[in-house]
Amino acid sequence: MENIKNYINGELVEPLSKKYLDNYDPSKGKVYSYIPDSDEKDVELAYEAANKAFHKWSLTPKDKRSEYLLKIAALIEKNIDKLALAESIDNGKPLKLAKTIDIPRAASNFHFYGTGILHYAANAHSMEDNAINYTLRQPVGVAGCISPWNLPLYLFSWKIAPALAAGCTVVAKPSEVTPMTAYLLSEICIEAGLPPGVLNIVHGLGAKVGNAIVSHKNIPLISFTGGTSTGKQIAAIAAPMFKKLSLELGGKNPNIIFADCDYDKMLATTLLSSFANQGQICLCGSRIFVERKIYDKFKNDFVTKTKTLIVGNPLDEKTKVGAIVSKIHFEKILSYIELAKREGGKILCGGKPITVSGEFSEGYYIEPTIIEGLDYNCRTNQEEIFGPVVTITPFDTEEEVLRMANSTIYGLASVLWTQDLTRAHRIANTIHAGIVWINCWLLRDLRTPFGGVKASGVGREGGFEALDFFTEPKNVCIKL
């Protein structure tokens, strides 16, 4: 079985402790590789390498930095089959999804920031009394980047690419649950000739490696994507140290369906926004609100369609819903289904684990689950489940649905289905969310600001916002 290695100072190295953790294939519930159980000593080595590389990298011309990023993007594209297979095995997601979404998007992230940095310009402000201000944007220093398991390489590269493009060097930690594609990315960086120390990847537990990065006194910036409670812990450590912080956290997104929508398009997309990646996308619409006029029709059609989704072997082309990422998460999702029942919810379909035959019999599979009859204020409708579980709730008026939609602590994404553009604009204006999709879902333009409000996060990723985050503005005023 393969031992994953850390990537420090341009080399693949063992953790100093020589200790390893089990890495599971969730589709089989079996250990298939080992991951470094790194600690603060490995983080220190990574920091030293990143710090040593910072001066030269930050002064490397943008077009040269761009060349490295574009080379990495090209190598990701070249290795798409290998990376997609690794992502599917490590995470349990359908191979088809990894091949069409995760890995192409990881390549796009490097491509986007490899070209974006060439267009990144600072402002100048002239003053009437013969003076001019110009603003330098200088890379902040060694950036700490920490990412989750649901879209492993996709989200890891979404942080690393802008950080490197901006001239920062990086100490990064992928999720301990899904380390494999970050490891393969380190091999790609070596092949691309990325100078030693520019990117360092330290594998291991959040409480050890993640915490050591966040607490490190000389890492001035933390870019984190993960759960809201982890974000809270990170903010508590980083804020008194005056670190720059970007927090992309949890969600409990509303999907609001009006009777005048394009019904077929809505139904097909709602199936995806509910169950794609086993519902483990921070942007999934887990609370579905349906105008009462079409509630019964929607309920019947949605349940019928959901029952056709094939759950099982992620490597099978026909599979639409793969394995849940880990045993712990599998149990958490099932416990929420039990909670929903106790809260008075009626399970319309799903609701149980599935045993898939043969070598997958120990894997973590859950039927796509639809629940109705719950109060919008109950725990099932307020807490993030992050699995193939949605609730459906009827509504009569716009005011009522907005009250329900805005009732959670979260505010990441939202989806609206209506042909009435005036209403769509009106709701988009009032809904508590950083992202509003009207008559679509997961349609991403990488130039747009990405992030949430309330407990869904602080700051925005994407476009020039990310380059702003990884750089510090310095205003220079000259009297002419």
Q: Which amino acid is at 93?
A: K
For ligand NDP, which is the closer residue by CB, 108 or 175? 175
111 three-state secondary structure: helix
CB of 386 to ligand NDP, least distance (A): 5
Between CA 427 and CA 446 the distance in angstroms is 24
Please identify, using beta-carbon distances, which residue of 88 and 91 lies nearer to ligand NDP: 91
Among 72, 84, 98, 177, interactor with ligand NDP by CB under 6 A: 177
Kindly report the length of the chain. Answer: 480
How far is Cα 429 from Cα 433, in angstroms, rounded to an integer? Answer: 10
Nearer to ligand NDP, 29 or 279 (CB): 279
Pairing label, strands 30-36, 20-25: antiparallel
User: Torsion over CA of 164, 167, 169 and 170, rounded to 10 degrees?
Assistant: -40
Compute the least distance from the CB of residue 420 to ligand NDP, in Å: 29
Taking the complex as a whole, the smallest distance from the CB of residue 154 to ligand NDP amounts, in Å, to 9
Residue choice 15, 26, 94, 210 for contact with ligand NDP (CB under 6 A): 210
Query: Does the protein bind ligand NDP through residue 102 (CB under 6 A)?
Result: no
Residue 237 or residue 477: which is nearer to ligand NDP going by CB?
A: 237
**Smallest gap from residue 393 Cβ to ligand NDP (A):** 21
Query: Residues near 429 by Cβ (< 8 Å), separated by ≥ 6?
Result: none
For residues 325-384, which are near ligand NDP according to CB under 6 A?
384
Which residue from 10, 141, 148, 462 is in contact with ligand NDP, where contact means CB under 6 A?
Answer: 148
Please state the separation of Cα 273 from the chain's center in Å: 15
Is residue 220 involved in binding ligand NDP (CB under 6 A)? no
Written as six digits, the tokens of 391 are 């609730």
Quote the CA–CA distance of 432 and 412 in Å, as a whole number: 8
| Residue of 50, 214, 323, 392 that binds ligand NDP (CB under 6 A) | 214
What is the per-residue DSSP string for 353-417?
EEPPSGGGTTS-EE--EEEES--TTSHHHHS---SSEEEEEEESSHHHHHHHHTTSS--SEEEEE
175 touches ligand NDP (CB under 6 A): yes
User: Quick check: helix, strand or coil at residue 53?
Assistant: helix
Out of 35, 198, 282, 405, the residue judged to bind ligand NDP by CB under 6 A: 282
Residue among 150, 269, 369, 471 that touches ligand NDP (CB under 6 A)? 150
CB of 280 to ligand NDP, least distance (A): 7
> What is the nearest approach in angstroms of ligand NDP to the Cβ of residue 283?
7
89, 166, 340, 412: which one binds ligand NDP (CB under 6 A): 412
User: How many Cβ atoms are within 10 Å of 32's Cβ, its own excluded?
Assistant: 15
Interaction between residue 176 and ligand NDP (CB under 6 A):
yes
Interface residue with ligand NDP among 116, 226, 312, 363 (CB under 6 A) is 226
Please report, as a single letter, which amino acid is at residue 163.
A
Three-class SS of residue 199? strand
Q: How far is the CB of 192 from ligand NDP (least distance, A)?
A: 24
**Token pair for 255:** 């999907």
Catalytic residues: 248, 282
Q: How far is the CB of 20 from ligand NDP (least distance, A)?
A: 14
CB burial of residue 244 (10 Å; 0-12, 13-18, 19+): middle
233 touches ligand NDP by CB under 6 A: yes
CA angle 51, 55, 58 (to 5 degrees): 110
Residues whose CB falls within 8 Å of the CB of residue 397, separated by 6 or more in sequence, listed in order: none
184 scored as a contact of ligand NDP (CB under 6 A): no
Q: Which of 38, 91, 157, 211 binds ligand NDP (CB under 6 A)?
A: 211
Number of residues forming the site for ligand NDP (CB under 6 A): 33
Instruction: Figure out which of the listed residues 24, 57, 149, 470 binds ligand NDP, where binding follows CB under 6 A.
Output: 149
Q: In angstroms, what is the C-alpha Rg of the chain?
A: 23
Binding site for ligand NDP (CB under 6 A): 146-150, 155, 173, 175-177, 205-207, 210-211, 214, 225-227, 230, 233-234, 248-251, 282, 384, 386, 412, 452, 456-457
